[in-house]
Amino acid sequence: MTELFEVTGFTVLMAGVATLVMLPPGICVAWILARRQFYGRSVLETVVTLPLVVPPVATGLILLKLLGRRGLFGGLIDAIGVDVVFTWKAVVVAMAVMGFPLLVRSARAGFEAVDRRYEGVAATLGARPLKVFWTISLPLARRGVLAGAVLGFSRAIGEFGATVMIAGSLPGSRTLSVGIYRHAELGQDTAAAILIIAAVAIGFVAVHVANRLGVAT
């Protein structure tokens, strides 16, 4: 039972941190896709959606190549004395990347549902674009944004492929999914079943909340 509480607590904490990390850029990207027409928009949409269709293991390998010490960004990160790969930070990165598309899709739907006339009236009255966003667009799209955050959180809870590639199965970076795989591989079916029940329970609550917010997955 000790492992259940430790792994579940760690997973929920990491998923929460990942959700907070992906929320600001996710909201920005969702608003841009909902409100702006520009060259390369379809490319941005495709890039955002890629984690949903690319095998998670492949995504994890890409992250490993980017953030590893010899990677594109790994050398810079290592130079400032920060370790990412095979630490809890890698878990957060993997979860954020995999949950990001769901957050953007729901938040975008929320922004698209906002009547542009309200934004137009505010702009006519002299409100600057940033003020219109904070006082009109975001509050009216809050249900979509919240649903996206919950869906991103639930996706982070269940993340396995990218996590195991960039964070491994080391003590201190073991999530529910990785724990389930580890126990199943060792033939410890009872321990795996306990973690499965915990994962299903958390996922059920998260998806139920997202559905109650009224935004389709």
Domains of the chain: 2-212 (1.10.3720.10)
- For the entire predicted model, the pTM comes to 0.88
Which range of 7-16, 117-126, 167-176 scores highest in mean pLDDT? It is 7-16
pLDDT of residue 1: 62
The Cα–Cα gap between 111 and 17 comes to 24
pLDDT of residue 109: 92
Q: What angle do CA 113, 118, 120 make, to 5 degrees?
A: 115
The Cα–Cα gap between 46 and 36 comes to 16
Report whether pLDDT(213) > 80: no
- pLDDT bucket at 156, cuts 50 / 70 / 90: very high
Alpha helical stretches, state H, 36-168? 41-53, 56-67, 74-79, 88-112, 116-124, 129-132, 138-140, 142-157, 161-166
- Report the percentage of the chain scoring pLDDT > 70: 97
HSE-CB at 184 with a 13 A cutoff on CA atoms is 11
Report whether pLDDT(183) > 70: yes
Contact between 102 and 95 under an 8 Å Cβ cutoff? The reply is: no
Rounded to an integer, the average pLDDT of 199-217 is 77
- pLDDT bucket at 139, cuts 50 / 70 / 90: very high
**Cβ-based neighbours of 131, under 8 Å, separated by 6 or more:** 122
- Report the percentage of the chain scoring pLDDT > 90: 44
The Cα–Cα gap between 21 and 195 comes to 26
Report whether pLDDT(204) > 80: yes
Mean pLDDT computed over every residue of the chain: 87
Burial class, 206, CB count within 10 angstroms (exposed 0-12 / middle 13-18 / buried 19+): buried
Report CA Rg, the chain: 19
- pLDDT bucket at 216, cuts 50 / 70 / 90: very low
